[in-house]
């Protein structure tokens, strides 16, 4: 019996050394986050640097300014930044100003998935992925919310809004919110009964109205006339597509790889999006013309979650 | 405590164990403890790792998560039978623990392909399916029948202590390693715990190898288990009770909806339940040996009945529900195994326990689907009352059925 106990103690010590050693190694391995002051201004693209997991700015000259703010998803508009912070066992949404100073934060119940700021910088919206809801036969569940950063009004869950005046179905899921310039009308995706619909919502009235089927993760163009979105194809991959709101005409974009992202408009004619690496754990940002012509171009490597800062 | 407990391991060769937390039960409990730390620390970070770390889309995640859950049922029964047939319960259990350890190692290297991740998770679940029945069979063979309740209580307390500690260890590791590179560190630490579990199993768990009557273990004999009246009654009771039990996810979700809980409170519900379970498992097990296992098991389902009724109302404070829910687990999980075990011949015990556990797992699957449908069409309140009614019916039926199996 004695040798068994000695063996067990030796094995425990050895395994503890391996475990602690590995943690120490990974801790020193991690690429150092930059300390250069980052301002959400000037020409460039706000990104999440996938090597460090931090909020960063990619300048047109190819330089990258990294902050020490760790985020799973970022977005900024008109000097308001949003960072869905990834922390052990909990997530929170942090609103920052132009100097990355923390203005407010709210806890999130789920894994950060999408984040947006309205063109004026006032309305902040997000989507998280909730795993506790896997009761519905292995399908995922999402939760989307809106924060009015000026008044502090919080709508933590779009499921509490009505659909054409009636409560939404208990199984309805919402994701991918995008706001118009008036800071009241927004668009989002509602999934219910196997259909993914584009919804047009009214924040003040807390009501939504369905517009069109098979539209996911809408992103409104700066001029407010078109929506870029991911359209699910028969083989369950997604094609980036642009929808003209006036007559609901669709234009598939030149990007033929499946894009699972809420795209961002760099300007009225260019759409940017993240594409994960085939292997490994990073992603790259690409852009493609919004009119369906041209070819996709690489914006920058090891980055995702783009938004223009100028 | 640990040393004396291990030394008393000699007692499992027939002589009645004086104390319960000794010998094989302590050894198996410690194995379960470190293995559960290993499993739960991965479970708590896996969704975030897959979606944020590997950029798996949420739809792909659902696919990965849902696809292999049914596969464990078959391996469980096959593993149970093999353990009996070759009288190698410890070997089959070790295979199960080993597969799960291998899955942790694979997680360190797997790429973002959903098929690869699905394969790793299937490996992990197959391992879990393989080890449960031999482990419980070894517990029943380690103590005299009249102490089984205490033995299972002690084992389940250690087991849930591991489940309770796992997520906390994961948080600590993520904090120490920095979140960008932290997932790898979590998997590595999890692997170390899994290997430690294997080492403890190999060193301290003893498998009883009695002389067997020739041909005692055959497929015919295994099928014959279902013709044993008492065992069949208990099996049917376990199935019925399983059919009236809806998944944890539902309970926590309804609590959250009902009370509009702050979103950060969600994980605390599971932690609270695990804490109640771990504190109550040992005393309730001892009580079961003293006053009878049937009243304790039925009392556990009565607690569940109250939980479902309280979920349909808005008045009860949340901690009452969490404590009652933990008490339900403490009074039923190990106690039902303690009821079923002695009804099985020693040479076919693993197979029989695998059959009961598989039946329960299938019943949970069915009841969760049904509950989901009820929730969608009637709303959560009526669905909970329907679940409460189902528990009541199952309890009435089980009162008679379990009579066969309890002293």
Q: What does the pLDDT read at residue A96?
A: 94
Q: Look at residues B206, B235, B256 and tell me which one is the last residue of a structural domain.
A: B206
- Picking from B58, B263, B267, the nearest residue to A142 by CB comes out as B58
Contact B177 A260 (CB under 8 A): no
How far is B152 from chain A, CA to nearest CA, in Å?
24
Are residues B148 and B235 part of one domain?
A: no
User: How many whole angstroms separate alpha carbon A270 and alpha carbon A291?
Assistant: 8
Contact A23 B176 (CB under 8 A): yes
Contact A138 B174 (CB under 8 A): no
* Residues of B in Cβ contact (< 8 Å) with A132: 249, 252-253, 266
What does the pLDDT average to over B31-52? 85
Q: Is residue B352 part of a domain?
A: yes
Are residues B261 and B165 part of one domain?
A: no
Facing residues of A190 across strands? A174, A197
* Residues of A in Cβ contact (< 8 Å) with B195: 11, 15
Are residues B251 and B173 part of one domain?
A: no
How far is A237 from chain B, CA to nearest CA, in Å?
11
Tell me, yes or no, if A194 comes closer than 8 A to chain B by beta carbon: no
Assign residue B159 the CATH number of its domain.
1.20.1250.20
Contact A111 B111 (CB under 8 A): no
Give whole-number Cα distances, A87 to B96, B171, B172, in Å. 33, 9, 11
Residue to substitute from A14, A18, A21, A23, interface B, most B β-carbons within 10 A: A23
Tell me, yes or no, if A280 comes closer than 8 A to chain B by beta carbon: yes
* Residues of A in Cβ contact (< 8 Å) with B188: 18-19, 22-23
Are residues B235 and B111 part of one domain?
A: no
More confident residue, A183 or B247: A183
Q: Is residue B217 part of a domain?
A: no
- Other beta carbons within 10 angstroms of residue B102's beta carbon come to 16
More confident residue, B344 or B54: B344
Are residues B258 and B199 part of one domain?
A: no
Of the CA atoms within 13 Å of residue B302, those in its CB half-sphere come to: 8
Q: What does the pLDDT read at residue B3?
A: 31
Contact A89 B51 (CB under 8 A): no
- pLDDT tens for B208-226 read 766 666 567 788 888 888 8
Q: Is residue B58 part of a domain?
A: yes
- H or E stretch at B122: helix B114-140
- Closest residue of A to B194, CA-based? A15
CA terminus-to-terminus distance, chain B: 32
Are residues B249 and B362 part of one domain?
A: yes
How far is A275 from chain B, CA to nearest CA, in Å?
9
How far is B155 from chain A, CA to nearest CA, in Å?
20
Task: Indicate the number of domains in chain B.
Answer: 2
- Closest residue of B to A84, CA-based? B52
How far is A273 from chain B, CA to nearest CA, in Å?
13
Q: Is residue B60 part of a domain?
A: yes
Specify burial of residue A44 (Cβ count, 10 A radius: 0-12, 13-18, 19+).
Answer: buried
pTM metric for this prediction: 0.77
Instruction: Residue B403: give the domain boundaries.
Output: 224-407
* Residues of A in Cβ contact (< 8 Å) with B1: none
Q: Is residue B296 part of a domain?
A: yes
- Picking from B61, B188, B263, the nearest residue to A107 by CB comes out as B263
Q: What does the pLDDT read at residue B16?
A: 42
DSSP 8-state secondary structure symbol assigned to residue B86: T
* Residues of A in Cβ contact (< 8 Å) with B55: 276, 281, 283, 304
**Between A and B, how many CB-CB pairs are < 8 A?**
156
Q: Is residue B212 part of a domain?
A: no
Q: Is residue B246 part of a domain?
A: yes
- Closest residue of B to A284, CA-based? B55
Q: Is residue B361 part of a domain?
A: yes
Contact B376 A171 (CB under 8 A): yes
Sheet (strand A264-267) strand order: A264-267, A270-276, A283-289, A297-300
Are residues B228 and B184 part of one domain?
A: no
Are residues B175 and B46 part of one domain?
A: yes
User: How many whole angstroms separate alpha carbon B306 and alpha carbon B329?
Assistant: 14
pLDDT tens, chain A, 310 aa long = 789 999 999 999 999 999 999 988 877 765 555 556 788 888 999 999 988 888 999 999 989 998 988 888 999 999 999 999 876 656 889 999 999 999 998 888 778 889 999 999 999 999 988 765 433 344 457 889 999 999 999 998 898 899 999 988 877 889 999 999 999 999 999 988 778 899 999 999 999 999 999 999 999 999 999 999 999 998 888 999 999 999 999 999 999 999 989 999 999 999 999 998 876 678 999 999 999 999 999 999 999 999 999 7
Are residues B46 and B124 part of one domain?
A: yes
Are residues B42 and B159 part of one domain?
A: yes
Q: Look at residues B145, B173, B206 and tell me which one is the last residue of a structural domain.
A: B206
Contact A88 B170 (CB under 8 A): yes
How far is A215 from chain B, CA to nearest CA, in Å?
15
Classify the complex by whether its ipTM is higher than 0.85, answering yes or no. Answer: no
Contact B58 A23 (CB under 8 A): no
What does the pLDDT average to over B326-354? 92
Give whole-number Cα distances, B380 to B71, B315, B319, B330, B373, in Å. 30, 15, 20, 26, 10
Are residues B264 and B127 part of one domain?
A: no
Q: Look at residues B162, B177, B206 and tell me which one is the last residue of a structural domain.
A: B206
Facing residues of A154 across strands? A147
Residue to substitute from A135, A157, A194, interface B, most B β-carbons within 10 A: A135
* Residues of B in Cβ contact (< 8 Å) with A230: none
Are residues B103 and B48 part of one domain?
A: yes
- pLDDT tens for B371-405 read 877 877 787 889 999 999 999 999 999 998 888 65
């Amino acid at each position: 019996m004695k040798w068994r106990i000695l063996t067990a103690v030796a094995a425990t010590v050895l395994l503890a050394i391996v475990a602690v050693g590995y943690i120490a190694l990974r801790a020193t391995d991690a690429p150092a986050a930059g300390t250069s002051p980052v301002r959400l201004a000037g020409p460039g693209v706000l990104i999440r640097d996938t090597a460090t997991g931090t909020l960063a700015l990619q300048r047109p000259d190819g330089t990258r300014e990294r902050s020490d703010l760790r985020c799973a998803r970022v977005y900024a508009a008109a000097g308001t930044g949003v960072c869905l912070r990834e922390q052990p066992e909990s997530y929170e949404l942090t609103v920052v100003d132009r100097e990355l100073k923390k203005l407010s934060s709210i806890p999130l119940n789920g894994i950060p998935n999408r984040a947006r700021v309205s063109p004026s910088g006032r309305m902040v919206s997000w989507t998280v992925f909730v795993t506790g809801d896997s009761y519905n036969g292995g399908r995922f569940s999402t939760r989307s919310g809106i924060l009015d950063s000026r008044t502090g009004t919080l709508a933590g869950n779009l499921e509490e809004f009505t659909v054409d005046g009636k409560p939404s179905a208990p199984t309805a899921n919402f994701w991918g919110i995008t706001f118009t310039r008036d800071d009241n009308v927004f668009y989002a995706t509602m999934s219910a009964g196997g259909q993914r619909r584009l919804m047009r919502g009214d924040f003040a009235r807390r009501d939504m109205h369905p517009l069109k089927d098979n539209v996911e993760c809408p992103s409104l163009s700066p001029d407010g006339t078109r929506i870029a979105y991911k359209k699910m194809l028969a083989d369950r991959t997604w094609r980036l597509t642009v929808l003209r709101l006036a007559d609901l005409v669709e234009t598939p974009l030149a990007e033929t790889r499946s894009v699972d992202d809420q795209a961002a408009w760099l300007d009225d004619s260019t759409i940017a999006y993240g594409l994960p690496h085939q292997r490994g754990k990073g992603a790259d940002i690409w852009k493609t013309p919004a009119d369906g012509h041209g070819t996709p171009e690489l914006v920058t490597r090891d980055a995702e979650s783009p938004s223009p800062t100028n | 405590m640990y040393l004396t407990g291990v030394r008393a391991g000699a007692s499992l060769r027939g002589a009645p164990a004086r104390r319960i937390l000794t010998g094989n039960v302590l050894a198996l409990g410690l194995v379960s403890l470190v293995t559960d730390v290993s499993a739960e620390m991965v479970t708590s970070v896996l969704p975030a790792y897959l979606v944020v770390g590997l950029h798996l889309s949420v739809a792909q995640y659902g696919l990965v998560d849902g696809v292999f859950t049914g596969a464990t049922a078959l391996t469980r029964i096959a593993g149970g039978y093999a353990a009996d047939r070759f009288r190698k319960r410890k070997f089959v259990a070790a295979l199960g623990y080993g597969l799960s350890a291998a899955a942790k190692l694979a997680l360190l290297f797997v790429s973002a392909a959903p098929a690869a991740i699905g394969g790793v998770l299937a490996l992990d679940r197959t391992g879990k399916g393989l080890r449960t029945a031999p482990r419980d069979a070894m517990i029943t063979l380690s103590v005299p029948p009249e102490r089984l309740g205490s033995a299972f209580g002690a084992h389940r307390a250690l087991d849930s202590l591991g489940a309770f500690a796992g997520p906390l260890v994961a948080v600590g590791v993520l904090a120490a390693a920095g979140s960008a590179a932290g997932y790898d560190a979590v998997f590595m630490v999890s692997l170390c715990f899994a290997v430690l579990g294997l080492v403890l199993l190999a060193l301290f768990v003893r498998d009883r190898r009695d002389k067997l009557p020739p041909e005692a273990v055959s497929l015919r004999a295994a099928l014959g288990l279902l013709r044993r009246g008492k065992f069949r009654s208990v099996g049917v009771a376990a199935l019925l009770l399983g059919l009236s039990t809806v998944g944890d996810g539902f309970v926590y979700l309804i609590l959250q909806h009902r009370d509009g809980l702050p979103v950060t409170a969600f994980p605390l519900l599971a932690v609270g339940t695990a804490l109640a379970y771990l504190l109550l498992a040992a005393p309730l097990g001892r009580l079961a040996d003293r006053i009878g296992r049937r009243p304790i098991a039925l009392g556990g389902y009565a607690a569940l009945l109250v939980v479902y009724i309280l979920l349909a109302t808005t008045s009860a404070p949340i901690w009452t529900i969490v404590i009652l829910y933990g008490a339900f687990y403490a009074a039923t999980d190990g106690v039902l195994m303690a009821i079923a075990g002695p009804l099985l011949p020693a040479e076919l015990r693993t197979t029989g326990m695998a059959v009961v556990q598989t039946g329960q797992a299938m019943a949970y699957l069915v009841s969760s689907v049904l509950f989901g449908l009820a929730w969608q069409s009637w709303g959560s309140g009526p669905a909970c009352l329907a679940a409460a009614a189902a528990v009541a019916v199952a309890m009435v039926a089980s009162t008679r059925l379990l009579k066969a199996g309890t002293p």
